[in-house]
Structure formats: C-alpha cells, structure tokens
Structure 1
Amino acid sequence: MTTGRQPLTTLVQGVVQRVRDVDRRRPLLWDAALTGFFVVVALVDAGGGWRNIALNTEVPGWLVLTLSLGFTVPLLWRRRHPVRVLTAMAPVILVSGWTGAMLQAGLIVHIVVFNIALRLPLRTLGWAAALVTVPNVMAAIRYPRGSWEQQIIPSLWTFTLVVLLGVVVRSRKEYTASLVERAHRLEIERDQQARLAAAAERTRIAREMHDIIGHNLSVITGLADGGAYAAAKSPERAAQALDAIASTSRQALTELRRLLDVLREESPGTADPGAAGPDRAPQPALTDVDRLVEGVRAAGLPVRLTVLGAPDGLPAGRQLAAYRVIQEALTNTLKHAGPAATATVDIGYGDGVTVTVTDTGHGGPPRAQGRGLTGMRERTALYDGTLDAGPLPQPPGGWRVHLHIPKDPTP
C-alpha cells in the first residue's frame, strides 16, 4: 500500500539532479554562488573566530583579511584551471602556516585538490600533497604544540580522503560515460542491422516475385501464342490453351497472395482473433518439379526430366533454391531459346542435390547476364552451393545451367 509520500532518497536525488541541471546549464553562475558563499564564511571567520584555533593570535587583521580573500576568491576558476588556482593559493598557504594564523579558510584548498583528482592526471597530486603538508610542518617547527602526529597526520588523512573521493567520483563518471557510449554504439549497430535486414528482405522478396511472375508470365505467353496459332484450325486446342492460361494465372495469383500475406505485418493485439491467418502452405519443393515441367510442356517447350534418387533429408530451404533455379532456367529457355528448342532437366541426389538444365537453343538473341541469373547465384550462395551457367560449344550449341547444393552447411 502506498501513502503517496516520496522516500527521502528520492527527494535527495531530485534535489541533486536539479542542482546538476543548473550547474550544467549555467556553470559560471554556480561557481560564482559557491565562491561568494566561501568568501562570506571566510570574512566572518576573519572577524575574530580564527583566533580560537590559531597558533599565533597576534597576526595583523589586514593580513588575516588578505589571506582569507586569497583562499576564497580563486575558487571561481577551480574547475577550469585547478592547477593555476592551487599555484595562486600556494603563497597564501605558506604565509598562513609561517605566521601561525592557521586560518580555517585554508581547508578550502581541499576543494581545489578534489577538482584536480577529478579532472587531471593523478601524478599532479604529488606536489599538491607537498603543498598541503609543508605549512603544517612549518607551523609545527615554529609553534610546537603537542606531538608532531597531532599537527601533521590529520592534514594528511584529510588530503587522502579528499583524493579518494575525487577518484571515486571520477571513476563513476567515466563508467557512466562508457555505458552511455556503449548504449549509443549498440543503438547505431541495431539500426545498421535493421537496415541490412531490410535490404536483405527486399532482395529476397524481389527474387521470389521475379521467379514467380517471370516464370508464369513466360508460360502464359507461350500458351497464348500457341492458342492464337491453333484458334483458326483447331478450336478445341485453343480452348485447352485458354484453360491452361487460366490455371497458370490462378497458380501465379495464389503464390503471390501467399507471399504478400506472409509479409503483411500485424501489430500485436490489433489483429482480429477470429480472422483467418495468412495462407501458410509450404513453398515449392523438388517433389513439385513434375508439375513445373508439365506447365512448361503445356507452353510449348518439350522437356525431358530425369531424377535419380529422392530428396530424403534435404532441408526445405535447399529444395526451394534448387526448384527456383530449375524454374528460372526453363523460363529463360522459353524466352530466349527459340521455337524449335528442347530442354533436359537432370536431378541427382547424394551429398545434397545436383541439377543440370540444358537446352538446344538454336534460335533467339544472346542471353544477357540479367536479374534471373543473378537471383540464381544469390540463392545458390545462401547454401554454400556452386552454379555454372553459360552457352554450350557450337555445334550443336544451346545453354547449360549446372547447380550443386550440399546437404549440410560448410563448417
């Protein structure tokens, strides 16, 4: 049960955070306010309070006032030039110890020591320690009072504790800065990874749509040309071509709809629980090559298919890659090989899958290194496979695509 009151630690942290914000926005204002506070305190002590702990109460008042200002006014530059401030305070510290005034304002020097430990190399603290110790040694020699330990050890302990405090604060600030820098780097790396993943996904989508649309449109084009040729002499053959065009079109639409449904992003909690999800039918595999070949034959390209073995244990991703390579090779044959061409598809299973697609290719323009061949190489590279594609020697000529995808990834 909460009472609505904030814990004391929360209140303290809030006050400290507000002070830090003011210090960050207006550092000079904060330094001036802190310096003014110590000037006032030192002047109040110079009014007579300093005699309570002085080793020599006969020090002139004007000298006490001067020493008090010498201890406090340089604090205005303690953060920007701590070494110079400590150097400026050095004669004031020595005079205070030599005269026996031993002003309490001399403790302000530890604020400068703290800033040195916080911002500068620690080797700078060596002469600072000597500067703090020498006045006490002089005072102990000129005005002996009690043992040496009572006059010197307390100042050394104070110096040590201030240095340790500065080192701790410095280490914490550096650790926090390193965490912030690491978080910034991780954020940059996350954005870079997201951009790389988006680019890879766009490439994959482009490859899939190229294979789906390119192949089916090539088949539809072949069927339409054959139907137009047969329309005048054999209306039945023309009707069969139209039926095949419709079937191929529906198949292409189904594959595209499946691809787009999977890519569609649904926000968590906004999707209708009762709505049907996207079609999760599996992607084509090597067992579907028979149907692929039948569609190509219906488009007018004679294809001979030979299969040795079975794709047992071959991962689905590797089967899809091999299927798409066969599909793209037959599509290129439909588009470029000419009207009298024939094709051969040989599939063998062993340590993975090996596919060879050849055609006679006596007609048609030379085949350019287009997007289709690039897509085949990209698919093959995903699974550490090898792909060779190029023309066969004349005669008889033609084109050959040879693919090998291992069953397991290369170590």
Structure 2
Amino acid sequence: MTVSASPEPPRLPKPAGAVRAFWARNPRLADALLAGLCALWSFESNAGLQIPQPVDVRWAVVCLVVAATMLVRRSQPWWALTAVAFGGAMSTGHFIGVALACALYALAAYRSTRDAVLGAVLAVTALTVPAIPHGDPAEWRSKAIIYAVIAVIAIFPGANVRTRRRYLQALLDRTVQLAREKEQEGRLAAIRERTRIAHDLHDIVAHSLTVMVRLADGAAAVADSDPHRARSASERIGGIGRDAMVDMRRLLGVLRDGGEDEPAIQDLDALAGTFRGAGLPVALRRQGPEPTDRSVRTAVFRTVQEALTNALRYAENAQRVLVAVDYRADPIRIEVTDDGRGTGPAPSVGTRQGLVALRERLALYGGTVDAGPRPAHGWSVRATLPQPSKDTDG
C-alpha cells in the first residue's frame, strides 16, 4: 500500500468578475490609483472648478502626504489614519472625508472593528476639535456629524470584508487539517497493512518450516531402519510445502487486489492433524459453535497455530498438548497447554517474535494473550477474543 503525495494546499477563491479579479491580482496598482484619486479629490474639494485660484501650499503638501500613506494602507492602516487626522487638523478649513473613509475602511478590513472604532473616534475628534475656537459652532458640529457618518459608512464594509476573509481562511485551515488527517490515516493504514502482512508471513513461514524441519529430522533418523516411514515423512514435507506455497500465493494475491487474507484452511481438526503427523500429541477440545465472523475465526486459527508451532519447537518430550477453545464464553477463551520440558530454540528455528505478533494481532480485535510456564512443568498460552457483534456479517 502506498500513500499519495500531499496535494497542493487550497487557496482563497478568486473574486467573481473580471474587474474585481484584476484588482485582486494587482493590489499595488489599485492602491496607487486610490492614492491619486484621494489627492485629486481632496485638492478639488478645496479649489473647486474656479481657475485660476491661489494654491494653498500647505494643503497641497497635506494632500500629497495623505495620498502617499494610501499606498501602505493595507500593511500600515494606523499610519494612514494618523496622516489623515494630522493633515486635517493642520488645515481646518478643508474637507478630507474621502481619505478618512479609505483609512478607516483599511483599518476595519486589515486590523479589527475595535481598532476601527477607536481610530474613528480619535480621527473625528482630531478633525473637529481644532476648529472649535475659530469656527461657528453649527459649522463644526455639522462637520463632526459628517465625519462620523463617513466613519460608520467606511467601517461597516471593511469589517464585513475582514469577517468574510477570516471565515474563508478558517474554511481553508479546516480543509488543510482534514487533508493532513486523511494523509495521516493513510500512513497509519499502510503501517497496519504492513504489520498484518508481516504477521501473516510469519504465521505461514514459521508454522510450515517448523513442521517441515521436525519431519525432515525424523525422516533422517529412520531413513535406514524404516524407509517406509521416512518416505511417508518426505511426502508430508512436500504436502506442507505445497500448502505453504498456496498460502503465499493467496497472500500475494491479496496484496494485488487489496482484500483481506484468510488462511487456506481454518479447520482446527486439520491443523491438529498436521501437528500430530509431525509427532506432537495434540488433543483438541471445543465448546460451543464457531462464530460466523471470518476475522474472528481467522484470529482463533492463527492463535492456535502459533501456540502449537511453539510447542513443536520447544516442548521436549511432551506427552500431551491440549487445545481448548470455548466459543460460548464472552470473551472467547483459547488455551493451549503442554507437559513437555521447555528448551531454548534451535539456532535455525524461531525468532521469538511469534507471541509479539500474536499480541498485536489480537489487540486489533480487543483481545489479549498471556504465555508462560506452568506450575509443575510445561508451557501454556492463554488468549481471549471478544465475541463478534450480532449484526456482523459472516
């Protein structure tokens, strides 16, 4: 199983319409045009259309400075608003409402509504208070109202734009998070699949090779004294090898098809017969009907197979190996005991990983396994496996 590469991170949707899309792609150009319009509007609001007229140099400088700050209104909206308020305060007889609206819109859109409201209060105060000592009360009051209305009109769309941008960004962040979680789930699934395949390979190879080695040793021991038994053992070795090849082909087919592997034979009687043929005195005792769930049957089969494989390897001179499976209990109880004298594994047989793999396999179903020596002599393997739910398909 392979995990695909991470997809390209999602982006904010493009604005609808060719004109809006153009301005979205060229924000610097939009700011430059806005700066020019602010300068032109502010200057014309003072000069009107009467030409020629004396030019107020101070007001012209204010218009240029305010227009320049419009170029950085996205990144530095406070600077833009400060320039508007300071310039308007220096030239109390001039109207600077357009620049004020642009600055407050930027503050609401790129900072926060709280900042925009605070900026509006400070800016309106700065634009009207200097005119109080010198102007008509009705005039500066109306000017304050006009600037306040402009502030409200500018803040609302700016806050709406910021809210929409934050909402879209939250959606994108959630999309990225879901994509990462999906990718992580894919990696975990791949790890679980590799672990399952490793367990299945171990079950197939360890079981088959252990029985084949024991039969080969027995055939070699009686080759001269009892050729018939030696030939029978050789035939058994061939049969076990062919069964292992069938299981291997099935496992490889599962890898190609993406399905779930099951052993070719799930019959515990046949499994016990195979080990009896290898010289292990296996007795099988079952209680209750077998579950219809395939995965549970496979887990029971693999548990008994691993326990008998270990008994064949290490239980020296075992006179009895009892396999007890109680399907009636919840959880299902599996116990394999022998009365042999335990020995260390032969150098060429066993990796001591079978029980580890068995614990991992049963843990996937919520089961447990415990293995250890018996009080007198011998070895026991005890495992539990939860009963399948009643609505599980067979």
Instruction: State how 1:7-406 maps to structure 2 within 5 Å.
Output: 13-23=17-27, 27=28, 31-32=31-32, 34-40=34-40, 42=42, 45=44, 48-49=47-48, 61-96=56-91, 98-99=92-93, 101-102=94-95, 106-124=97-115, 125-129=117-121, 131-132=123-124, 135=127, 138=131, 142=135, 153-265=145-257, 284-285=265-266, 288-311=267-290, 313=291, 315-338=293-316, 342-352=320-330, 353-362=332-341, 364-365=343-344, 370-394=352-376, 397-406=377-386
Contact 2:100 2:151 in 1 (8 A): no
The farther-off stretch of 337-346 and 300-309 is: 337-346
Task: Give deviations 1:242-291, integer Å, cap 9, x for gaps.
Answer: 2211211111111121122122148xxxxxxxxxxx99877644xx1110
Cα distance in 1 between the residues matched to 2:173 and 2:260: 45
Task: Give deviations 1:72-112, integer Å, cap 9, x for gaps.
Answer: 2332332333223322322422344x33x43xx54122111
Contact 1:348 1:355 in 2 (8 A): yes
Shift of 1:325: 1.1
Task: Give deviations 1:57-86, integer Å, cap 9, x for gaps.
Answer: 998633443443344233233233322332
Query: Where in structure 1 are there 5+ consecutive unaligned residues?
Result: 1-9, 267-277
The farther-off stretch of 225-234 and 29-38 is: 29-38
Contact 2:84 2:99 in 1 (8 A): no
Shift of 1:356: 1.8
Contact 1:301 1:334 in 2 (8 A): yes
Counterpart residue identity of residue 393, structure 1 = P
Shift of 1:147: 12
**For the structure 1 residues 216 and 302, does the alpha-carbon distance in structure 2 shift closer, same or farther, using more than 3 Å as the test?**
same
Name the SS for the 1:231 alignment partner: coil
**For the structure 1 residues 238 and 366, does the alpha-carbon distance in structure 2 shift closer, same or farther, using more than 3 Å as the test?**
closer
Contact 1:223 1:242 in 2 (8 A): yes
Shift of 1:307: 2.5
Query: Where in structure 2 are there 5+ consecutive unaligned residues?
Result: 1-13, 390-394
Cα distance in 1 between the residues matched to 2:146 and 2:97: 14
**For the structure 1 residues 48 and 384, does the alpha-carbon distance in structure 2 shift closer, same or farther, using more than 3 Å as the test?**
closer
Cα RMSD (Å) of the superposition?
3.5
Counterpart residue identity of residue 165, structure 2 = K
Contact 1:284 1:320 in 2 (8 A): no
TM-score by length of 1: 0.77
Cα distance in 2 between the residues matched to 1:256 and 1:234: 33
Cα distance in 2 between the residues matched to 1:146 and 1:22: 41
Counterpart residue identity of residue 294, structure 2 = A
**For the structure 1 residues 152 and 46, does the alpha-carbon distance in structure 2 shift closer, same or farther, using more than 3 Å as the test?**
closer
Name the SS for the 1:94 alignment partner: helix
Shift of 1:146: 9.8
Task: Give deviations 1:230-249, integer Å, cap 9, x for gaps.
Answer: 22122222221122112111
Name the SS for the 1:351 alignment partner: coil
Identity percentage of aligned residues: 33
Aligned length: 370
TM-score by length of 2: 0.81
Contact 2:41 2:98 in 1 (8 A): no
